[in-house]
Amino acid sequence: MALITCAECSKEVSEFAPSCPHCGFPIAAITKEGRVALRNCPNCGGTGTQRDECSHCSKGMATCRRCKGGGYWLDDPCPVCSGSGRLRCDYCHGQVYFEHECQTCGHSGQVTLREYEEIMTSRRVLEEASQKESQAKLSEKQANEQEETAQKLSALRERLDNVNDALLPLGIAQGALILADSAYAVDRAKIMKIHGEQLHALRGYRYQCQFCGEPLAWKERLRKLPVHDKQDCKAGWERVSKKIAENNAQYEEFMLEHAEQVEEED
């Protein structure tokens, strides 16, 4: 077993030790040649130069300060931006970002293993804190949305109850109107049937044509024809008879459906 010098505290330590017992520096960061193993700086990616985006522009272009982005000055095209309303950013000179030496690695682009682990650990801590904060905001937002939804549902139920209360008397009135209309329909059907029967009997008694109502000839009376011996009256009487039969059938069906109501009125 060989002894090597710790790169952190310069004390001797076993080459098989996972870390220095004196300062805790990881021995794995030391190569066989005794040099400290380096890693690319996580802040600059090994370039030694950091870039920060410019917050004063968008893609290197900023709003013209003269015309405030309108493109015109006193009804004429802005003389500064030529009417475009955009100019090259004065802060980054259109480069979109600022370059400066990385302070973490001292512009070398390399850091020791311990520094690399510390940076990554701090990043993980910040990311976990950011995730916890985002989760807390999300939970709060969901709770607020659930509360708003519950309030809207409660208001909707209250409105439905009010509507139902208002519709109840309307429903009762509508039922009364339906009953009255049914009674009127029954009376009208009775009147129409009686009128048809009386008109038919009157025309037969006076020997009138059942279709046109004019007097029948004596030959037509002897043959007991209900209408004139003409094609028009015959065809018309067939239509009228068919219609009367349909009306009577509808009347009988209607009376059967409203039999209980007719008995109550009688």
| pLDDT score recorded for residue 196 | 73
Q: Which of 131-135, 148-152, 202-206, 238-242 is predicted with the least confidence, judged by mean pLDDT?
A: 202-206
Q: Reply yes or no on whether the pLDDT at 125 is more than 80.
A: yes
Listed in sequence order, the residues at least 6 apart from 83 whose beta carbon sits closer than 8 Å to its beta carbon are 71, 72, 77
Q: What percent of the chain has pLDDT over 90?
A: 0
CA–CA gap between residue 120 and residue 153 (Å, rounded): 48
Q: Which of 85-99, 193-207, 220-234, 251-265 is predicted with the least confidence, judged by mean pLDDT?
A: 251-265
* pLDDT interval class at 107 (50, 70, 90): confident
* Average pLDDT of the residues in 31-46: 61
Q: Reply yes or no on whether the pLDDT at 217 is more than 80.
A: yes
Cβ pair 119, 104 in contact under 8 A: yes
Beta carbons within 10 angstroms of residue 19's beta carbon: 16
0.85 surpassed by pTM = no
Backbone angles phi, psi at 220, to 5 degrees: -70, -30
* pLDDT interval class at 64 (50, 70, 90): confident
- Angle value at C-alpha 214, between 211 and 216, nearest 5 degrees: 95
Residue scoring higher pLDDT (144 or 100): 144
| pLDDT score recorded for residue 197 | 75
Listed in sequence order, the residues at least 6 apart from 105 whose beta carbon sits closer than 8 Å to its beta carbon are 41, 43, 44, 48, 111
Residue 253 corresponds to which tokens in the numbers above?
Answer: 């069906």
CA–CA gap between residue 63 and residue 79 (Å, rounded): 14
Q: Within 13 Å and on the Cβ side, how many CA atoms surround 113? A: 14
Residue 2 corresponds to which tokens in the numbers above?
Answer: 């060989």
Listed in sequence order, the residues at least 6 apart from 70 whose beta carbon sits closer than 8 Å to its beta carbon are 78, 85
